Amino acid sequence: MKRLKRFWVRLSLCGLISDKEKRVCISNCLLRILELFGRSSSRNASFSYRHPRSTSCPSCVPALFVCLVGFVGPLGLVLGGCELVSEDERRDLPRSWFSYCGYVSDWDPDWVAIEDAVIEEINAARSRTQDCGSRGIFPPAPPLEPREALTCAARNHSYDMATEDYFDHVNPAGEQPWDRMARAGYPYRTAGENIAAGFALAADAVDAWLASDGHCANLMSTSYVDTGVGFYADPDATYQYYLTQTFGSSRIEE
- CB-based contacts of 11-14 (< 8 A; 24+ apart in sequence): 11/46, 11/67, 11/68, 12/46, 13/39, 13/46, 14/68
Burial tier of 115 (Cβ tally within 10 Å: 0-12, 13-18, 19+) = buried
> Is residue 114 within 8 Å of residue 199, measured between CB atoms?
no
Alpha helices in 57-108 (DSSP H): 57-68, 74-80, 87-92
Give residue-wise pLDDT tens across range 211-223: 999 999 999 999 9
Alpha helices in 70-201 (DSSP H): 74-80, 87-92, 109-126, 148-164, 177-183
Partners of 43 in beta bridges: none
**Cβ-proximal residues to 36 (8 Å cutoff; 6+ apart), any chain:** none
Phi, psi torsion values for 197, nearest 5 degrees: -145, 145
Q: Can you tell me whether residue 157 is helix, strand or coil?
A: helix
Alpha carbons within 13 angstroms on the beta-carbon side of residue 95 total 9
Q: Which value, to the nearest 10 degrees, does the dihedral of the CA atoms of residues 30, 36, 42, 43 take?
A: -110
SS3 116: helix
CB 165 within 8 A of CB 242: no
Calpha distance 150→51 (Å, rounded): 25
Q: What is the pLDDT along the chain (254 residues), one digit of tens a residue?
A: 333 333 333 333 333 333 332 333 344 444 544 545 554 443 333 333 333 333 333 344 444 554 444 444 444 444 444 444 455 666 666 676 678 898 898 899 999 999 999 999 999 999 999 999 999 999 999 999 999 999 999 999 999 999 999 999 999 999 999 999 999 999 999 999 999 999 999 999 999 999 999 999 999 999 999 999 999 999 999 999 999 999 999 987 65
pLDDT tens-digit readout, 99-144: 889 889 889 999 999 999 999 999 999 999 999 999 999 999 999 9
